[in-house]
Amino acid sequence: MLHPKQFDVIVTLNLYGDILSDVAAGVVGGLGFVPSGNIGPTHSVFEPAHGSAPDIQGRDICNPTAAILAGAMMLRHLEMRREADSIERAISIVYSSGKLTCDLGGPLGTEAFTHEVLRALDAGGDRKAARPSS
């Protein structure tokens, strides 16, 4: 697949779809970076492609990038493009600044990395639009 953007949808058996998605994830750095969306006619589900990773739950070592990007993918699906773009831009800013999670050789855990993304959203003035206040 030299030009993957030529494909909008690939219909395949589950096994081959898993293989294709794993290979595609490897191209961008691994499953920890890839969001996933299952789009249906009335309901849709967005999640990290790697699943829940229960073996590292509660240890503050999970890279939350895929989960955050799944949220951006959901916003884009809901036609909230500006908010989705803000989140993707914040992720890019954090990575460009060298603030990395421990799986990438950096010092940050899940919570600290997420706070950096929120700071980047704040700096862009888009946090309120991209994240509902509690």
pLDDT of 22 higher than 50: yes
pLDDT of 114 higher than 70: yes
Q: What is the pLDDT of residue 1?
A: 60
3 state SS of 47 = strand
CB 95 within 8 A of CB 55: no
Name which of 56, 70, 55, 51 is nearest 102 in CA terms. Answer: 56
Q: Give the count of beta carbons closer than 10 Å to the beta carbon of residue 33.
A: 18
Q: What is the pLDDT of residue 132?
A: 41
**57: its two tokens:** 């739950």
pLDDT of 24 higher than 50: yes
Confidence (pTM): 0.81
Neighbouring-strand partners of residue 44: 39
How far is 117 from 99, CA to CA, in rounded Å?
10
Name which of 104, 101, 69 is nearest 88 in CA terms. Answer: 69
DSSP character for 50? T
